[in-house]
Amino acid sequence: MKISLVTTSGGPEVLRIAERPVPSLKPGQVLIRVHAAGVNRADVMMRAGQYGPSATGVEILGLEVAGTIEDPGDSTRWKKGDRACALLPRGGYAEYAAADGRHCLPVPENVSLEEAAGLPETVLTVWSNVFQRMHVRRGETLLIQGGTSGIGLTALQLARERGVRAFATAGSDEKCRFAEAWGAERCVNYKTEDFEEVLPPVDAILDYIGGDYTAKHLRMLNPDGRICWLAGLGGIKSTINIMEIMRKRLVLTGSMLSPRDDDFKAALTAEVEEQVWPLVSQGRLRAHIYRTFRLEDAAEAHRLMESGGHIGKIILTIK
Ligand SMILES: NC(=O)c1ccc[n+]([C@@H]2O[C@H](COP(=O)([O-])OP(=O)(O)OC[C@H]3O[C@@H](n4cnc5c(N)ncnc54)[C@H](OP(=O)(O)O)[C@@H]3O)[C@@H](O)[C@H]2O)c1
């Protein structure tokens, strides 16, 4: 099968097309004929050797795919030809991918496989962190840093659907208007305005910037406020005033989905299917595809993500 291979860490140019055997299935796995794969910031960081173990030995990137079930293995749920999208430990930039059958979700008829490939990573991450971990409830306020990222647009839509007032930041006026069209009550261009000065206090913050933002976030949170980190694009070290935490009883948390065990991901996928997937079927929760690239052009897709010029998801298509 055709794959996009990375054998050593480096720039986008280390991605190249190669042939590998179709994966053989372990118990509980299904084989997916991949039509599209989502590109994630974590792929870019793995390729560059900045995420978890060094990219050396990470052969096939790709944490999410959509396609058709080629071989259901021992599954009693999936059958050959079913349209499914899946969260993967890796291996999505390929013609075929083996997935835990419990980490797959059905693709509704009204959703294209390209769009479906952009759903698992963001929907599972946002559900797990905003609604399970921070327990954000109807009527509360949520600040989403990077509101037009793949994660940001999913968080905005889920907040809207669950009656949560969402605020966001983005790096241009155009991106801010986009975030507002997708559910932000107000989006602040962090390059021209100080979000701490112009936004109201909030109950929860979804952050992947860290660094200097943390002190601002602690000041902005309401009593019993929560902050959840998904990454530290602005720096993984912050100086904090613990008096702020004690005085307002703040909860500071964070998580990484990729290293969680298969049973955790299975339980999360099941809850998402029950609680969130009806919104996908009804067209009320969507992945915004900024651009698609052929698998052969995965390096270009990584360059675009590194440039930060995108809004929403970048997708690879596999013919
Ligand atoms: N922990 C987990 O389980 C988990 C799972 C999935 C994703 N993530 C993380 O979540 C983040 C988003 O993922 P993604 O795939 O959706 O990536 P992405 O589309 O590349 O998003 C990155 C976002 O960061 C924003 N940003 C950069 N500097 C900023 C700043 N100083 N202030 C505010 N926003 C800033 C960018 O916005 P502008 O272009 O507007 O600057 C962009 O929207 C990534 O850091 C990723 O690693 C973590």
pLDDT for 51: 77
Tell me, what's the pLDDT at 58? 65
Picking from 137, 165, 147, the residue whose alpha carbon sits closest to that of residue 207 is: 147
Cα 122 from Cα 301, distance rounded (Å): 18
38 CA → ligand 1 middle, Å: 15
User: DSSP E strands: which ranges in the chain?
Assistant: 2-5, 16-19, 29-39, 64-71, 83-87, 96-100, 104-106, 141-144, 165-170, 184-189, 202-207, 221-229, 251-254, 289-294, 313-317
Alpha helices (runs of H) in 230-294, residue ranges in sequence order? 242-248, 262-275, 277-281
Query: In sequence order, what are the beta bridge partners of 69?
Result: 32
The fold for domain 122-254 equals Rossmann fold (3.40.50)
Mutating to test ligand 1, I would choose from 41, 304, 311 the residue with most ligand atoms within 8 A of its C-beta, which is: 41
Q: 151 in ligand 1 pocket by Cβ < 6 Å?
A: yes
194 alpha carbon to ligand 1 midpoint, in Å? 18
In this predicted structure, what is the pLDDT of residue 52?
61
Q: Which residues of the chain have pLDDT under 70?
A: 52-58
- Contact between residue 73 and residue 41 where contact means Cβ atoms under 8 Å apart: no
* CA 196 to ligand 1 center in whole angstroms: 19
Residue 228 CA to residue 210 CA, distance in Å, equals 10
Ligand 1 atom index nearest CA of 313: 19
For helices 150-161 and 173-181, the axis angle rounded to 10 degrees is: 30
Using CA atoms of 145, 150, 156, 161 in order, give the dihedral in degrees to the nearest 10: -150
The CA-CA-CA angle for residues 254, 256, 257, to 5°, reads: 130
pLDDT at 59: 84
209 lines ligand 1 (CB under 6 A): yes
Per-residue confidence (pLDDT) for residue 53, from 0 to 100: 54
User: Which is the closest atom of ligand 1 to the Cα of 254?
Assistant: 1
| Sequence ranges of the chain with CATH classification 3.40.50.720 | 122-254
Query: What count of other Cβ atoms lies within 10 Å of the Cβ of residue 214?
Result: 23
User: Class of the 2-119+258-317 domain?
Assistant: alpha beta
Give CA separation, 114 vs 136, 143, 176, 213, 296, in Å: 30, 29, 25, 34, 16
What is residue 50's predicted lDDT score, i.e. its pLDDT? 84
For ligand 1, atom 11, the nearest C-alpha belongs to 208
Kindly report, as residue ranges, where domains of CATH 3.90.180.10 are found in the chain: 2-119+258-317
